Amino acid sequence: MLDTGNTGFMLVAASLVMLMTPGLAFFYGGLVGRKNVLAIMIQSFVSMGWTTFLWWAVGYSLVFSGGQGGVIGNLDLAFLRGVRPTDLFAGGNGIPLLVMFVYQMMFAIITPALITGAFANRIKFGAYLIFLTLWMLFVYFPVAHMVWGNGLFASWGVLDFAGGTAVHTTAGFAALASVLYVGKRKIMDKGPHSIPLVALGTGLLWFGWYGFNAGSELKVDHVTIMAFVNTDVCASVAALTWLALAWKLERKPKFVGLLTGAVAGLVAITPAAGYISINGSVAIGVIVSIVCYLAVEFKNKMGLDDALDVWGVHGVGGVVGCICTGIFATKVWNPAGADGLLRGGRHFFAMQTASVVITATYAFVFSYAALWLINKVTPVKVTAEEEEMGLDESLHGEEAYL
């Protein structure tokens, strides 16, 4: 029977997650230079169109239809074949299948957009569209199936409440591969051209993340509320921890650092939000901020041009969140979850760790190989002249500021 309360809640949650992609566009847009704002923003917005098509055509089916215990589903629900408006999702929560379709579609949309911050100012738009397509088909859809579609990782007992493995780890390590492939920018940005734009993007991301995490319970109950609270607490603690680190080590309390810390906290709490106590979310906030801060410093020391710290925040933060789920999860707070390492769950901890290591490795290897292959067909990197002119004008014939 249709549950109107759960259905209404999930439609709102889907709308919140949709808002995260424009929020990401503003976040990234503020961090780059004035001549590349539109080029980075369009890479997020185009995913709202093209990934929607891919999700309708094959994505939803490959993730959620068949393939129990395997690495990919089947095409039984391709193009939503046979789906009626009255069909209910099989999760027993009384929401229509189409609501699940649209909610998970928003996750699929933002995931490849996350990668784009790593290769800011360096990649051609056509090559990005090809990469997005291949990456969704061969990375996101299989990993999402293994985690959420009763696939391989689910059969191991792996838990990922809202996308630490499927979203952030895949995107973060694809970002690292892309940085290594495309190399350094020839024209370095002087710094964020608009910190207020970064703050606006962070606010939209934080707001949308409540739908991302709390909505992943797929109904309204005590776990929904717990996920909501954990999301806010972890992000807040991580933001303050990063601010304190920057204040101590860089001698000034950096606003961008505060915002970056908040995003790191949001990333890390994503896989754990519905499985841990509030004290656990505080611990994860402190841990992820320290680890991600050190990862960004390591990236800088190694000279890797991850322009917007996608690997350091999303990749490392996703791994930390998944492993911390294996440490702090407790059935006391969610009987449907698992007990982590602190409560004797050594096997669960091992499976969490193994799944995220496998995911990171696969996402990295495939992404590097895909860029190499695409470059055989069409140039991936922009020319020195295009980079010097700025991608807004050279690739898109537009300017953000006149």
- Tell me the per-residue pLDDT of 74-83, one tens digit each, with 9 for 90 and over: 999 999 999 9
pLDDT in the model for residue 351? 98
For the ranges 84-93, 135-144, 369-378, the lowest mean pLDDT is seen at 84-93
Q: DSSP characters for 91-111?
A: TSS--BHHHHHHHHHHHHHHH
User: What is the domain extent for residue 312?
Assistant: 4-207+221-393
* Residue 401 belongs to some domain of the structure: no
The domain that holds 287 is classified in CATH as 1.10.3430.10
Residue at 275: amino acid letter? Y
pLDDT in the model for residue 191? 86
> How far does CA 149 lie from the centroid of its chain?
18
Q: Of 370, 267, 366, 344, give the one whose Cα is nearest residue 309.
A: 267
Counted domains in the chain:
1
pLDDT in the model for residue 190? 84
Q: DSSP characters for 125-144?
A: HHHHHHHHHHHIIIIIHHHH
For the purposes of burial, counting CB atoms within 10 Å of the CB of 332, is it exposed (0-12), middle (13-18) or buried (19 or more)? exposed
pLDDT in tens, 325-338: 999 999 999 999 99
pLDDT in tens, 210-236: 999 999 999 999 999 999 999 999 999
Query: SS3 for 381?
Result: strand
The H or E element containing residue 302 is helix 278-302
On the question of pLDDT at 91 being above 90, the answer is: no
- Enter the tokens of residue 273: 């939000």
User: Please, are residues 255 and 195 in contact by the beta-carbon 8 Å criterion?
Assistant: yes
On the question of pLDDT at 23 being above 90, the answer is: yes
| Range 130-154 average pLDDT | 98
> What is the distance between the alpha carbons of residues 166 and 271, in angstroms, rounded to a whole number?
9
Question: Could you give the percent of the chain with pLDDT greater than 90?
Answer: 98
pLDDT in the model for residue 36? 96
**pLDDT band for position 402 (cuts 50, 70, 90):** confident
Average pLDDT over the chain, rounded to an integer: 97
| Range 34-58 average pLDDT | 97
Please give the torsion angle defined by the CA atoms of residues 175, 180, 185 and 188, in that order, rounded to the nearest 10 degrees.
70
User: pTM (2 decimals)?
Assistant: 0.96
pLDDT in the model for residue 187? 85
On the question of pLDDT at 254 being above 90, the answer is: yes
* Residue 247 belongs to some domain of the structure: yes
**Any alpha helices (H) in 215-254, and if so which ranges?**
222-249
On the question of pLDDT at 85 being above 90, the answer is: yes
**pLDDT band for position 348 (cuts 50, 70, 90):** very high
| Range 51-69 average pLDDT | 97
pLDDT in tens, 359-385: 999 999 999 999 999 999 999 999 999
> What is the distance between the alpha carbons of residues 347 and 173, in angstroms, rounded to a whole number?
25
On the question of pLDDT at 66 being above 90, the answer is: yes
Q: Of 111, 172, 169, give the one whose Cα is nearest residue 359.
A: 169
- Enter the tokens of residue 106: 């928003």
User: Please, are residues 207 and 258 in contact by the beta-carbon 8 Å criterion?
Assistant: no
pLDDT in the model for residue 240? 98
Which residues are bridge partners to 96 per DSSP? 88
Question: Could you give the percent of the chain with pLDDT greater than 70?
Answer: 100
- Enter the tokens of residue 349: 């901890």
* Residue 214 belongs to some domain of the structure: no
Contact residues for 106 (Cβ-Cβ < 8 A; gap 6+): 14, 17, 18, 20, 21
Read off the DSSP letter of residue 119. Answer: T
* Residue 50 belongs to some domain of the structure: yes
| Range 181-197 average pLDDT | 92
> What is the distance between the alpha carbons of residues 13 and 145, in angstroms, rounded to a whole number?
21
* Residue 232 belongs to some domain of the structure: yes
* Residue 151 belongs to some domain of the structure: yes
